Structure 1
Amino acid sequence: MAKLLYGFSCSVDGFVAGPGGDMSWLTPYLGPDPLVDELIPEIGALLVGRRTYGGDDPHRGTEGEGKAFGGGWEGPQFVLTHRPADPAPGVTFVDNLVGAVAAAKEAAGEKYVNVLGADVARQCLEAGVLDEILAMPVPVLLGDGVRMFDRPGGKPVGLEELRPHWYRVV
């Protein structure tokens, strides 16, 4: 059965995107990464938030623009939204978390469903369906933007380290 993984790059101060969802901060840090290279073949589907789906692309201006992992991955994407965009090959718009998770898991088979988008990851965590987290810190302080996890007034979430930067939600 597929597992839900929130895999992301973030600034050392915990932001996955700059103000307004700007991803251009990440562009200088893109490049070969053994951990990402190891992960990509293990991803069977993506569960994507609507802001992430329609947002900035750190691969803008390259041949990987508009493609998952800069073109390093292809497969089914499930976008959680109440505002579907124009149809795109391999992309399914789903208007509820339960349906989106179920469809993505079915499509992923025995591989991971990689969650893209801080708000979708938070929803998955609160619903008790997020299995693992892979946090890849980038050596920069952004100071403002979209936090990798934001839940004011929420309780701490326990994590068990599986290996460096990789955690199981407990």
Structure 2
Amino acid sequence: MAKVLYSVTMSVDGFITGPDGDMQWMRPYLGPNPEVDELIPRIGSILVGRRSHDGDDPFKGESGEGQAFGGGWSGPLYVVTHRPPADAEPDVTYVDDFTKALAQAKEAAGDKYVNVIGANIAKQCIEAGELDEVLLLFAPTMLGDGTRLFDYPGGHTVRLERKSVTETAMATSMWFTVV
């Protein structure tokens, strides 16, 4: 059965995008990462919010622009949105209901991961009790503003148990199980 994984690159001050959804900040930190390389073939589907799907691409101007993991992964992608586009993209399914989208993504993933992209979708997975693991790639930079990894007005504790820590020249990865 599929596990739901939120994998994300984050600044050390807790932001996954810069101001106005800027993703270009992470370009210097997208270098080789053995942990990500090992993860990619274990992803069976991707669940993403519309803003993240349509937003800024850290691979802008490169051959992998517009593709998951800069072209390193291909497969079924589920976009949660109330505004599906008139022209659908190949291998992209637009779903107007989070619960339905998650169920479809899990079915498509089989015994692999559903990789979650986007803070809002990750928050919905947490609220539904469906998030199994978190992989944080800490980039050695501070942004000061942007989209937080997890933002819950009034607070909401999500306990995590560390599975592993991996250091590369570009970032430090921490893999957690949601308790």
Post-superposition CA distance 1:77-114 (Å, at most 9, x none):
00011011230000000111110110000000000000
Which residue number in structure 2 is paired with residue 134 of structure 1? 135
1:161 corresponds to which letter in structure 2?
R
Q: How does 1:62-77 map to 2 (within 5 A)?
A: 62-77=62-77
* Secondary structure of the corresponding residue to residue 5 of structure 2: strand
- The share of aligned pairs that are identical, in percent, is 61
Provide the aligned length of Structure 1 versus Structure 2. 170
Consecutive unaligned residues in structure 2, runs of 5 or more: 166-173
Amino acid at match of 2:40: I
- 2:98 and 2:133 map into 1 onto residues whose CA distance is 17
Deviation readout 1:45-81 (Å, 9 max, x if unpaired) = 0000110000000000100000100000000000011
Partner-residue secondary structure (3-state), 1:89 = coil
Structure-2 residue corresponding to 1:89: 90
Deviation, 1:155, is: 2.3
> Residue 167 of structure 1 aligns with which residue?
176
4+ residue runs over 4 A deviation: none
Partner amino acid for 1:121? A
Partner of 1:119: 120
Q: Could you tell me which residue of structure 2 aligns to residue 9 of structure 1? A: 9
1:19-98 → structure 2 map (5 Å cutoff): 19-85=19-85, 86-98=87-99
Query: CA separation in 1, counterparts of 2:101 and 2:69?
Result: 21
Aligned-pair CA distance for 1:154: 2.3
Aligned AA for 1:91? Answer: V
More displaced 10-residue stretch of structure 1: 153-162 or 141-150 = 153-162
2: CA distance, partners of 1:88 / 1:53: 11
TM-score (norm. length: structure 1): 0.98
- TM-score, normalising length: structure 2: 0.93
Partner of 2:147: 146
Q: Which amino acid aligns with 1:112?
A: Y
Gap regions ≥5 residues in structure 1: none
Question: Letter of the aligned partner of 2:35 in structure 1?
Answer: L
